[in-house]
Amino acid sequence: MSDRCGTALAQERLIDVESAARMLEVSRQTEPIFLTGRSPSVHRKPWPLVLVSLSLMLLGVLTIARAEALAGGGHRVPRQMVWIAVSLVAMLLASWPNYRILCRWAYVIYGLALVLLVAVFFFPAVHGAHRWLRFGGIGIQPSEVAKIAFVLALARWLMYRESHRRWHGLAAPLVLTLVPVVLILREPDLGTAMVFLPVLFCMLAVAGARAGHLGALALVGLLLLPLLWQQMSREQRSRVTALFQQTGPGERPTGDRYHLHQSKQVMALGGVWGSAISGEAVDDRAAYHLPEAHTDFVFSIIVERFGLVGAGVVLAMFAALVWGILRVASETREPFGRLTAAGVASLFAVEVLINTAMTVGLTPITGLSLPLISYGGSGLLAHAMALGLVLNVARRPGFEIAREPFRFAAPAHGKNVREHRAAAVRA
């Protein structure tokens, strides 16, 4: 596999029709070769994606400032501005070198992410959870890195037809998914763990897995729910059960139901246009009290500040972001790049759906942040790097001259490969 990745990286250049025909004849017997019509250029970047991403980041700053004002003050806004600057630099760096280099190192990156997920258990717990690696005043959340590493490793595996068109080929993607899920559940972090299986399903669908296999995978997921329940902590189980015990009008919320009750109450106070236009609905500060307003429930603050209209605009911006990433995937003929972009799109879509549904009581309160908007450096940096990878893919929309995308076999090895390459050179 690494040979094929290196071949695709080395042969990104213009070719004439005659040499393309000779290479096509050779590639039918060996691995496919991907080429681009012209060299990468900044003019081929999907700049609307950059503008939407930056707008969401700046909206996050305004929302965090509002959350701090309702809470009586804080110092998170300057820190978030610093993280935005760092994340933009990381996005630029991730978009520049050829992304196909990551094809060779995808499994290594995935392995390092697992090592970091194990390492958190050797660091002191924060609020009862082992989610952080702290070095002085800087904290790193490995689960955010693990999501990107998972997408890269899964894209590498699904490049080849036999990796997803046969029953035995689906075992490896399932293992790649369940290992980080179990480790993240043990932290515990239910919200992040819930992201992996939907992303797996979406990437399998994009790769061209059989409908029957996808249905069987969904059935396996349902059968694994009891195991998932056993891996949950008592607090996580309480949050799930609280979903079915929501408070009614006039009832006093207790325990885990308090967060959801306050979330819905704060959103109701925003009305149609929000407090930014209509002013605050009540003078009682207790009515606006919302735990974790700057992270998990940042969408509730958006509705309070900008109303239902503003919430609709934010959701439309996320929809535009996901749609733009999917367009990059559809225009990319090289399988690793297409699957990587599709994985990033599904990652954003799943996280937005889970977070917003959580704030209105449609899913359990899981602690999953809203991408690009919630306060936090690790999440913002990881999502910016993921977007950088999408921009990288957009700059190099290679096309395949050997076979249709996702329909080729794994490369041969040994003497046959050397013979075919020698023939290509002689030609």
Could you say which DSSP state residue 138 is in? E
pLDDT in tens, 259-282: 888 888 899 999 999 998 888 878
Whether the full predicted model's pTM is greater than 0.85, yes or no, is no
Distances (CA, A) of 76 to 68, 80, 132, 379: 8, 6, 18, 15
Could you say which DSSP state residue 129 is in? B
pLDDT of res. 190: 84
Tokens of 360: 């209105």
pLDDT of res. 164: 58
* Amino acid, single-letter form, for residue 337: G
The vertex-298 CA angle with 297 and 302, nearest 5°, equals 125
d(CA 422, CA 190): 53
Q: Is 274 left (phi over 0), alpha (psi -120 to 50) or beta?
A: left
pLDDT of res. 19: 47
d(CA 51, CA 212): 40
Residue 35, helix vs strand vs coil: strand
pLDDT of res. 38: 46
**10 Å Cβ neighbour count for 256?**
20
Task: Report whether 265 contacts 287 (CB < 8 A).
Answer: yes
Helices 298-330 and 377-395: crossing angle, nearest 10°? 20
Following DSSP, what letter does each residue of 374-385 receive, concatenated?
Answer: SS-HHHHHHHHH
**10 Å Cβ neighbour count for 95?**
22
Positions of the chain with pLDDT lower than 70, given as ranges: 1-45, 161-167, 248-250, 254-256, 398-427
Task: Report whether 380 contacts 83 (CB < 8 A).
Answer: yes
Work out the widest C-alpha separation in the chain, in whole angstroms: 83
Distances (CA, A) of 356 to 26, 134, 165: 51, 29, 34
pLDDT in tens, 370-386: 999 999 889 999 999 99
pLDDT of res. 379: 93
Phi, psi dihedral angles at 196 (to 5 degrees): -65, -45
